[in-house]
Structure 1
Amino acid sequence: MIVKVCGMREPENIRAIEQAGADWMGFIFFPHSARYVTHCPEYLPEQCRRVGVFVNESTENILLKAQEFGLHYIQLHGRETPEQCRKLKTAGLGIVKVFSIARESDLRPVGCYEGICDYFLFDTACSGYGGSGKTFHWDILQAYQAKTPFLLSGGLRPGSLSSLLQFKHEQWAGIDLNSGFETAPGLKDSAAVHTFINQLKQKIQ
């Protein structure tokens, strides 16, 4: 079970979340986000996979950030095409394509990205590009029939553990934590993250 902690920015908090057991760590390169990373932090995780989060950004700019931050994965939150995903993958980067989910029909576009992306991420549909702090109805995902593994996102918080333990899907590969574990935008409660990861991984292998 992959645990990704997204929206990281502060060096000491990055270090604390890495020590808390996160597998992946997300850095948001979308200027309209409250967690926008304006410069490279003094410390970057050494044990976690580094994930860059982009929204409708050019391939050239994504590749520049990937080099600057030593990114392993690119998470695409906007209207990025399968062709752009393929180009980034050819550059040696893992690709996570995000889909906003409110109803079963929102799963239809995933077919165009099947076989190109390494993971999909299913988030709660909202007026912006994620960060709603709300959870969608996970039972919608029982209609997901593709073979690409996915991460579950949207409104996860310490109280979500019991619901996660009840969720089942053959392609479910991980979760994405963000605002539900924050004390301020871009600043995570490392103790809460550590407790949550330990409890989750004790129950789900």
Structure 2
Amino acid sequence: MKPKIKICGLRDPENIRGVLTLQPDYIGFIFYPASKRFVGSALEATWVAQLAGVCKTGVFVDADEQQVNSYVAQYGFQAVQLHGNEDAAYCARLKQTGVTVIKAFGIDPRFDWAQLDEYEDAAEYYLFDTQSKQHGGTGTRFDWKLLEGYTSDKPFFLGGGISTENIREALEIGDSRLYALDLNSKFETAPGIKDIELLKQTLQIFNDE
């Protein structure tokens, strides 16, 4: 079964409309002020809340828990992606509100896979991205062979530099736990603005495989 597709880092209404014509499974909105794709005041919460047919995901980095809950309610998020040092208790409390929790981890050769153990009951999915001080959005991929160290049964999103050039390779990982591919910075004309034509071409490659 092919992975699902998440297109992340959206912040422009017209561009979002174009992305939705491609029928991704997930779309992501970044609420991390240090990110070049920070939503800020670019989007009306009520407009986002009305978007249908896709799982809307709010992306946060060590954000105040009440603020996250407030954004979930305002924007109609069905999922939250947590990219910071959020502990398992924080994740579990959000999960109890009914929102899907995706806990992200930056992967490099020094990554200790044992740290995932405490999150097994606190998150529905993991997301594996390239380790960076930016908490994602680098356009750089990590060595996917490092996934051999992952022993949990929990399904995961794969992020970090997925592009037109390597999407076939991502599909060839052949891991039944690979739940979704996270497409972001390699598909932009500017931070937060997706190249619809490039996405279309890439998803054609994806569908043809």
TM-score between both structures, scaled by the size of structure 1: 0.94
> Structure 2: which amino acid aligns with 1:28?
I
Contact 2:12 2:42 survives alignment (8 Å): no
Contact 2:129 2:142 survives alignment (8 Å): yes
2:65 match: 59
2:80 match: 74
1:16 match: 18
Deviation at 1:104? 6.0
The Cα offsets for residues 3-58 of structure 1, whole Å up to 9 and x where unpaired, read as 10010010011111011121100000001111101136254331110000000011
For residue 142 of structure 1, give the secondary structure of its aligned residue in structure 2. Answer: helix
Give distance in 2, aligned partners of 1:23 and 1:111. Answer: 27
Q: When the two structures are aligned, how many residues end up with a matched partner?
A: 203
Deviation at 1:98? 0.4
Give distance in 2, aligned partners of 1:196 and 1:131. Answer: 18
Residue 116 (structure 1) aligned with residue 122 (structure 2): yes
Contact 1:122 1:151 survives alignment (8 Å): yes
Contact 2:6 2:182 survives alignment (8 Å): yes
The Cα offsets for residues 141-177 of structure 1, whole Å up to 9 and x where unpaired, read as 0221101100100011111123123212121111101
> Structure 1: which amino acid aligns with 2:4?
I
1:83 match: 89
Contact 1:104 1:140 survives alignment (8 Å): no
1:31 match: 33
For residue 159 of structure 1, give the secondary structure of its aligned residue in structure 2. Answer: coil
- Structure 1 residues 1-205: aligned runs within 5 Å: 1-39=3-41, 41-42=43-44, 43-44=47-48, 45-103=51-109, 105-203=111-209
The Cα offsets for residues 107-165 of structure 1, whole Å up to 9 and x where unpaired, read as 22111101221110000012221122111010110221101100100011111123123
> Structure 2: which amino acid aligns with 1:141?
L
Contact 1:152 1:175 survives alignment (8 Å): yes
TM-score between both structures, scaled by the size of structure 2: 0.92
Structure 1: tracts of 5 or more residues without a match: none
Q: Tell me the C-alpha RMSD between the 2 structures.
A: 1.4
Give distance in 2, aligned partners of 1:18 and 1:125. Answer: 29
For residue 116 of structure 1, give the secondary structure of its aligned residue in structure 2. Answer: coil
Q: Percent identity?
A: 34
Deviation at 1:88? 0.5
For residue 59 of structure 2, give the secondary structure of its aligned residue in structure 1. Answer: strand
Deviation at 1:81? 0.8
